[in-house]
Amino acid sequence: MVVTSSTASAESNCDRKTELMAIDRSKSGIKGLVDAGLAKLPRVFVHDHLNLQIKSGPPPAGVQIPVIDFAGVNIDSTRRADIIDEIRNACMKWGFFQLVNHGIPVTTLEEMINGIRRFNEQDPEAKEKLYSREESKKVTFNTKIDMSQALAAYWRDTLTCVMAPNPPAPEEIPEACRDILLDYTNNVMDLGHTLFELLSESLGLNPNHLKDIGCTEGLYVMGHYSPACPEPELTMGTGIHTDSGFLTVLLQDQIGGLQVLHDNQWIDVTPIPGALIINLGDLLQLISNDKYISVYHRVLARNVGPRISIASFFRTYIQPENALRMYGPIKELLSEDNPPIYKETNVVDYFKFKHVKGVEGTSALAHFKL
């Protein structure tokens, strides 16, 4: 029998699918593998396609991800105007910024990180009950797996909770992090309303414009837990991607690993105690007609850990009643000199296209250009 490269590739893909399904069947996640004494990465965690040609590391001298101080944003009109200018510049040039003095107590941030730690470090049986990939469920736990083209697993376990507009019943949220998750997400929703007001103003719009078109209605929260990795150079915590929604509020611990692609270089996002990271998603780039940008980012695996982060995504596709709402470049931003770059789309079609295509290293926005 002659084994062709396509036959070998098909067999290899079949083997990888089998391995990935075995991870799901175990329901114990990455932590279960580590607790069992894993010393060498299984093949499905090895990312052969990692792009190592792009320079990676600390920012060059004078290049820094913007840090915006929110102190006085709601009480000092002069300071508010300065903050709006800073947000505009960050959104045009970086698509990312760190936020300090944002109003959420440091004790709340620390307890949220501890809540995700408690959930992941409890008895495995408590987590196994939630292990699922059913998108209809409001609370799920699983290991990040790409079953589309890459057929790869990522070095992280994730607890996902759909917290708005229709949150789960409190008893559906794991007891290990229930109280703090409810408290933290209420704080994030309040912060999100302020951010979208400032973003609206920074675009020259009425302060309520982005809220009125639904940008603040949906909140999808993912708590990530990445144990220390035995071979971190071979895998990723999160692959190269852009976020799909409008805006993401990220809380990370002090271990680091998040990198942003800026001027064709991977720039480390150095953790700042008490700070939150804000990044724009594809739909905000689309409705701003490319005035603001949604940029590639990734998370490296580390040989220390666990690394814990909580990403809160403002996005609307999780609301059936608004799933077919159309989004296109905001009319007030368009002119003869600034014609629309994108066609209108609804969030169902956008997310369907992005996830069928596979999220790693590709932007779905180009598909929706006129």
- Band of pLDDT at residue 107, cut at 50, 70 and 90: very high
User: What's the pLDDT band for 51 if we cut at 50, 70, 90?
Assistant: low
Long-range contacts of 179-183 (CB under 8 A, 24+ apart): 180/108, 180/111, 180/112, 180/114, 180/115, 181/112, 181/115, 181/221, 181/223, 183/108
| Residue 138, token pair as written in the block | 């409001």
Taking all residues of the chain, what is their mean pLDDT, rounded to a whole number? 90
Cα 210 to Cα 123: distance, rounded to the nearest angstrom: 43
pLDDT tens digits, 165-214: 999 999 999 999 999 999 999 999 999 999 999 999 999 999 999 999 99
Could you tell me the pLDDT band of residue 5, with boundaries at 50, 70 and 90?
A: very low
pLDDT at 361: 63
Residue 6 pLDDT class (50, 70, 90 cuts): very low
Alpha-helical runs (H) found in 203-310: 209-212, 282-287
pLDDT at 9 over 60: no
pLDDT of residue 321: 60
Q: At 108, which amino acid appears?
A: T
pLDDT at 95 over 60: yes
Instruction: State the pLDDT at residue 149.
Output: 59
In the chain, the N- to C-terminal Cα span, in Å, equals 50
Q: How many helices (H) and strands (E) does the chain have?
A: 9, 15
Supply the pLDDT for residue 253: 97
Per-residue pLDDT band at 226 (split at 50, 70, 90) = very high
Q: What's the predicted TM-score (pTM) here?
A: 0.93
pLDDT tens profile 233-289: 999 999 889 999 999 999 999 999 999 999 989 999 999 999 999 999 999 999 999
| Cβ contacts of 261 within 8 Å, gap of 6 or more | 54, 240, 267, 295, 296, 297, 298
CA angle 263, 269, 275 (to 5 degrees): 135
Please check the confidence at residue 109 and state whether its pLDDT lies above 80.
Answer: yes
The string of pLDDT tens digits covering residues 127-140 is 999 999 998 899 99
pLDDT at 320: 57
Query: Residue 65 belongs to what H/E stretch?
Result: none
pLDDT band at 293 (very low <50, low <70, confident <90, very high): very high
pLDDT of 358: 60
Residue 12 has pLDDT above 80, yes or no: no
Parallel/antiparallel/unpaired status of strands 307-314 and 152-164: unpaired
